[in-house]
Structure formats: C-alpha cells, structure tokens
C-alpha cells in the first residue's frame, strides 16, 4: 500500500471514529431535533467522502470541503441554540 493510500485510510478511520463519537453525543443531546441531527450526519458523511477524494478537481474539492465544514458548524450552532 502506498504512503498516500495509507494516509487516506488513516484519515478516513479518524473521521469515521469522530463521526461515530460525535453522533452518539449529538443524538443524546438533541433528541428533539431529528432533522437537524440527520442533516449533521449527512454533512459529516459528505465531508468524509470529500476528504477521501483525489485532490485533482481544480480547487473545487477544497472549496466543497470548506463549505461543508461551514455547514457542519452552522448546524451544530443551530442544535446548540435550540437545546
């Protein structure tokens, strides 16, 4: 396995563990907000996929990662504000 492939695999594993931990915490803290929690889960999955994508998309991958991370922050803020 190449170094790049190993790095991507490690990054993917870290993201998945973070998503699982965040999902467990988020679900218990915001049980009354299923749509926000679902949106957060989908955004985290999208971010994971973008992180694993090859970086040869004329800068659009990086832009999508940034926008997805901003959306994750906004959803987290919305959940926190409603709790």
Query: What is the total residue count of the chain?
Result: 83
pLDDT at residue 53 is higher than 60:
yes
Quote the CA–CA distance of 12 and 17 in Å, as a whole number. 9
Torsion angle defined by CA atoms of residues 27, 28, 34 and 36, in that order, rounded to the nearest 10 degrees:
-60
Tell me: the pLDDT tens digits for 7-45?
A: 666 666 666 556 555 554 554 556 789 999 999 999 999
Query: Containing H/E element for 78?
Result: helix 60-82
Q: Indicate the average pLDDT of the chain.
A: 82
Task: For residue 41, give the nearest of 61, 58, 20 by alpha carbon.
Answer: 20
* pTM to 2 decimal places: 0.64
């Amino acid at each position: 396995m190449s170094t790049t492939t190993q790095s991507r695999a490690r990054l993917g594993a870290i993201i998945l563990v973070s998503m699982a931990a965040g999902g467990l915490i988020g679900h218990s803290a915001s049980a009354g907000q299923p749509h926000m929690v679902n949106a957060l889960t989908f955004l985290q999955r999208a971010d994971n996929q973008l992180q694993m994508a090859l970086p040869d998309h004329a800068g659009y991958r990086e832009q999508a990662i940034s926008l997805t991370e901003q959306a994750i922050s906004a959803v987290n803020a919305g959940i926190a504000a409603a709790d």
